[in-house]
Chain A
Amino acid sequence: MQDDSAAERILIVAHELIKRFSWSGNTITAVNGISFRVETGEVFGLLGPNGAGKTTTLRMVMGLLRPDEGYAEVDGIRTGPDSAGVRSKIGLVSTNDGVYPWLSVREMMFYFADLYSIPPHVATERLDNLCDMLQLHQFVDQRCSTLSTGQRQRVILARGLMHDPPVMLLDEPTRGLDVVGSQTVFEFIAHLKAQGKAVVLSTHRLDEAERVCDRFGLVHRGQLIHVGTLRNLQEVTGKQHLTDMFLAMISGSLNEPLGQAAS
């Protein structure tokens, strides 16, 4: 892991991803040509309103969904529903993630370690570190059904790191969390960044994104409207805050197409 973080390299590539969903005759293009790259130690914020196509994009990067066009690569390997090889390199934490109510936190962690073929002694050590980092010690042997929302979220974050992936995909990790909970998540992201992981964070909480992300992609209706650092975006849009850019983007697309200065 240390070697990976030393070398600056591109870990995540999304290239012209297109995904259409169709049912009973209607076709909806959920993602329409999204491209971005994320390097080691970089946090990329995928920002957009609900239904913009963020989750679908992440799923295609993850390999859960097969893109209709374009491709995604993680660490130079194409992802897709059939590519099991690349999956151990990706950690996923999503809004909808749950826990096993009848298992203890420790049992659940070891289960995921087994899913990723991590030898038990390595798993024990790693769980210890994660407990330190996310303060799980006091409830690590409790059944998951007894955990509070914040504790659950920490368990899920820890679960995503159990196999120590170089790439982390976070899909709305702060939804439903209070200030303290969100703070834990952002500390977690900072930690990931320090470890040199490539992180994609999808969220609609712009204030939070502004604090932790190195670069941003503003997604609207399946398209990346703007990509760049906060300063880039400020220059392009002439707005100071993400929220304003966002509102401009949404209203702009309603009236006239905003300059598609993406990438």
Chain B
Amino acid sequence: MNPGLNVARIQRLCLKELRESLRDRRTIITLVLMPLLVYPLLSLILQRVLLTNQPAGSQEEFIIGVDSEQTGIDLNSMLRQGSRIVAALESAENSPLSSAAQPNSTALTPGGSRSEPATTTAATQLQIIVIDRDANKMLRDGAVDLMVTKIATQPANVGAPAPDNNPPATPPSTEGANDNDTSSSDDAKENPKTSDPAGKNLVAPPNPSQSANNSAQSQAPNGQIPPGRSRWRFELGLGPVTMQMRYRENDLRSEHAASFVERRLTLINEQLATQVIRQFRIPNMPAIGKRMIPVRITGDNVAIVATLVPLVLVLMTIAGAVYPAIDLTAGERERGTMEALIVSPTSSTVLLLAKYVAVVTVAMLTALANLLAMSVTLWSSGLGAVIFGAAGISIKTILLIFPLLILFAMFFSAVLLAITSFARSFKEAQAYLIPLMLLAMAPGVLSLLPGIEYNEILAVIPLVNIVLLAREVLTGASQLETSIIAVTSTAIYAIIAIYFASRSFGRDASLHGSQGSWRDLLRRPKSAALYPQVEQMAMTMAVMFPLYFVASTRLPTISESLPAKLALSALVSFLLIMGLPSLVSWHRRIAWRSTFLLRVGTIHEWLYWLPGLLLVGSSMWMIAHEIIILGKNLWIETLQFEQALQFKQQLQQLPLPFVLFVFALTPAICEEWFFRGFILASLRKYGMRRAIFGSAALFGLMHVLTSNVLAVERFLPTTFIGIVLAWIAWRSQCILPGIFLHAIHNSLLLAVGHFEDQLKAWGIGLEESEHLPATWLAGGCASLLVGYVILHLSTARRSQQPTST
């Protein structure tokens, strides 16, 4: 069809599409500008959301202004003492600390450490500078984070600031100050004046809206600024001095600086109080001991953000793919180049694949740009550590996320192309895409819900599976099973979408006039076909796999009783494995007789078939068993033997005919119908060998994927059995021998399981993991060989003319 369909040509075809979209300014905007703008903005918002609850764990440097050099020296020594207490406290929490203080009158940088609940400990740098005038202005301008003024207080007002959590240590003399402070919450405007003894150096009072924000903050559970205090100013007394601290309200940095100093001063007061109590030997003081144990939790906020990050990445990747997808499909039509494309001998599938490559590439570039922008933003803002733990986002995580984004880009590009291929113009394409984008948001938002658990069902829902998988990867909790399901199902959806895209791309209807509709895709063909096409088979498989998966994992949970479960699973097999290909064949007008090899066979034929099938059927399991043992020696075994054993015991309780019906007859009929009927027929044109091996490999693959545990070791033996069955179906051109053989094989294994005890009593026991006795193997091979010869000879004539049925 395409004589010159070589790699270089395909490359050039893809290159044209890529060139076209990359030269377009609109692509560049989504590719470069959006990530540059979105993430810094996003990080600002996130910082607001997160850090009101949780201080940043990264290193901080505070600049503290003091009113005089003496205050600086005092403050420094207080902080050193406080830090020592903090260090002592935290060494119990196994946080190694370095508190190297450098006494310097103007620039003091005591290395200290804070331990706030639910945060990592990080070194805090302090710089103390003397500010003798315009202190408020400097504070407001952010030149200093905290302004500390030493006030000589009268003994009545002096004392510890009486933090609420420290009642026993509070000297009675602080009552007044305490009252003053608690009254402040409503009229913050008035408060500074009444509580500031000097009546000057006032910090500008907060405006009402800020104060509303603020009260929400003070209720936050972090407890940095104990409630009931003036939230824009508080005082700490140490002996006869009061250290007045002024800080910027609603400014995280400034608030942190204040709480940093406040904590140390409180601790000194507590220590002093304890010492005083000890000195005076007051028994049972403090009456209430307290011990705070910080526990790191992943709060809901964090979980949401952890999901938000991949969701934003996913959405940005979509945004990157949308424009090229429209431009390369509906755009061709709008430019008037579509007709020239369609009349060329290159098939629309090839054209579409080239476009697909280009769209995926642009989407990947967008993903990469976004990933980089996001990593840099998270890293530079320190948000990464808050969201994803102390290490932040590692290179490894990024490397893991990127393939996921690629996978998603491949999926979504295919969906986009399927839709835009149908549109006749840009506007129409956009009209189609807006609902799709909203639709895509919905599962994304669903996955934002905290506490949502990633299970097999969610793993097959498009978009949700990738977002959740990305979240799992980011938080380092990804599981192999769900990951594989998500990746497989996404790939399958991509294939389906591409199939639809190539079918609708450049159709008559979309070229000229509005007669076409989606119904065209589902319209039954007018002419009949003898055999299904490979695409039809692939589509059927692609639809069957997720359906079967969901049905086989979820339906059994409906009922508790084992027989009901088994009956249900048999029903599912009949409906899906047998029903779906039948439905497809009916709808696409594919002849059932030739596809499903429907013929009874003559008595003469069966005279030979029966002994042959019995011989093969009774010895096939030995080879399969040996293959399993071989595989076990090569790989890791994944079968859960305990579970299997338990299941076997349960089965032994059930009547044998029922077990045989569920596990022998049902799979024999359904799987022969699908694999040796539908699939083998669809692969017919590739010749006998390829058709047989291809259908057998699919048979093996389906058995690996549809079991709840990914039983990799099942692949080879099942494929072997698939080869035997496909060969018989091909040779006999009849579905019945395969069903018969399949049923014998399964029944034999089941019967052995069922009568295990009796067999053991007779001295016939089989260890699951051992090689068979040599005599058995020899007998099995002989019987297999004889059976093969009989079947080969008896079917020789038939296979000469495979299409004669």
Contacts and interface: CB of A to CB of B under 8 A. Distances in A.
A115 B336 contact: no
A116 B20 contact: no
B335 A100 contact: yes
Interface string A86-115: 011010101011111111000100111011
15 contacts: A84-B2, A84-B346, A84-B347, A88-B344, A90-B343, A97-B336, A99-B335, A103-B23, A110-B12, A112-B340, A115-B341, A115-B344, A117-B3, A117-B5, A119-B4
A85 interface: yes
Interface string B1-15: 111110001001100
B541 to A, nearest CB: 25
Contacts of B24: 102
A103 B19 contact: yes
B514 interface: yes
A60 to B, nearest CB: 11
A102 B13 CA distance: 15
B336 A96 contact: yes
B345 interface: yes
B335 A115 contact: no
Contact of A87 (B16, B20, B334, B344): B344
Contacts of A94: 339
A85 B12 contact: no
A23 B514 contact: yes
B394 to A, nearest CB: 39
B402 to A, nearest CB: 28
Given A87-B343, A87-B344, A117-B9, 5 more contacts: A22-B515, A64-B339, A64-B508, A103-B20, A115-B351
Given A64-B342, A92-B343, A98 B336 contact: yes
A100 B547 CA distance: 43
Contact of A21 (B351, B511, B515): B515
B340 A159 contact: yes
A107 B342 CA distance: 19
Nearest to B21: A102
A86 to B, nearest CB: 8
Q: Which of A65, A84, A99 has the most CB of B within 10 A?
A: A84
B337 interface: yes
Given A84-B1, A87-B343, A92-B343, A103 B16 contact: yes
Q: Closest 7 CB pairs between A and B?
A: A98-B336, A117-B4, A115-B344, A102-B23, A98-B335, A87-B345, A111-B16
A101 B335 contact: yes
A253 B337 CA distance: 37
Contact of B20 (A96, A100, A112, A159): A100
Given A81-B508, A117-B2, A64 B13 contact: no
Contacts of A111: 12-13, 16
A62 interface: yes
B435 interface: no
A255 B351 CA distance: 50
Nearest to A160: B340
Contacts of A64: 339, 342-343, 508, 511
Contacts of B341: 115
A102 B511 contact: no
B515 A23 contact: yes
B289 interface: no
A99 B345 CA distance: 19
Given A21-B513, A64-B339, A92-B340, A114 B12 contact: yes
Interface of A: 21-23, 59, 62-66, 81, 84-85, 87-88, 90, 92, 94, 96-103, 107, 110-112, 114-119, 159
Contacts of B3: 117
B1 A63 contact: no
A88 B20 CA distance: 24
A23 B517 CA distance: 11
B352 to A, nearest CB: 13
Contact of A115 (B346, B508, B512, B513): B346
Contacts of B1: 84-85
A114 B4 CA distance: 9
Interface of B: 1-5, 9, 12-13, 16, 19-20, 23-24, 334-337, 339-347, 351, 508, 511-515
A66 B527 CA distance: 15
A118 to B, nearest CB: 8
A124 B23 CA distance: 23
A112 B13 CA distance: 9
A190 B308 CA distance: 65
A13 to B, nearest CB: 18
Contacts of B4: 117-119
A96 to B, nearest CB: 5
B16 A107 contact: yes
Nearest to A159: B340
A65 B508 contact: yes
Nearest to A115: B344
A237 B362 CA distance: 61
A116 B343 contact: no
Nearest to B24: A102
B334 to A, nearest CB: 8
Pick from B24, B340, B515 the residue with the most CB of A within 10 Å.
B340
Nearest to A62: B343
Contacts of A65: 508, 512
Contacts of A97: 336-337, 339-340
Contacts of B351: 115
Nearest to A66: B508
Nearest to B1: A84
A29 to B, nearest CB: 15
A88 to B, nearest CB: 5
A72 to B, nearest CB: 13
Contact of A116 (B339, B345, B347): B345
B340 to A, nearest CB: 6
B13 A114 contact: yes
Contacts of A117: 2-5, 9, 345-346
A138 to B, nearest CB: 21
Nearest to B515: A23
Given A22-B515, A100-B335, A114 B9 contact: yes
Contacts of A21: 513, 515
B337 A84 contact: no
A105 to B, nearest CB: 13
Contact of A112 (B344, B508, B513): B344
Contacts of B336: 96-99
A110 B340 CA distance: 14
A218 B334 CA distance: 31
B751 to A, nearest CB: 53
A124 to B, nearest CB: 13
A99 to B, nearest CB: 7
A66 B509 CA distance: 12
A94 B2 CA distance: 25
Most B CB atoms within 10 A — which of A23, A88, A98, A112? A98
Nearest to B506: A64
A123 to B, nearest CB: 10
A21 B511 CA distance: 14
A184 B81 CA distance: 95
B442 to A, nearest CB: 34
A21 B515 CA distance: 8
B348 to A, nearest CB: 10
A109 B644 CA distance: 65
B368 to A, nearest CB: 22
Contacts of A159: 340
B345 A92 contact: no
Given A21-B515, A119-B4, A85 B345 contact: yes
A111 B339 CA distance: 15
B773 to A, nearest CB: 60
A150 B557 CA distance: 71
Contacts of A81: 508
Given A92-B340, A97-B340, A117-B2, A84 B335 contact: no
Nearest to A101: B335
Nearest to A90: B343
A115 B345 contact: yes
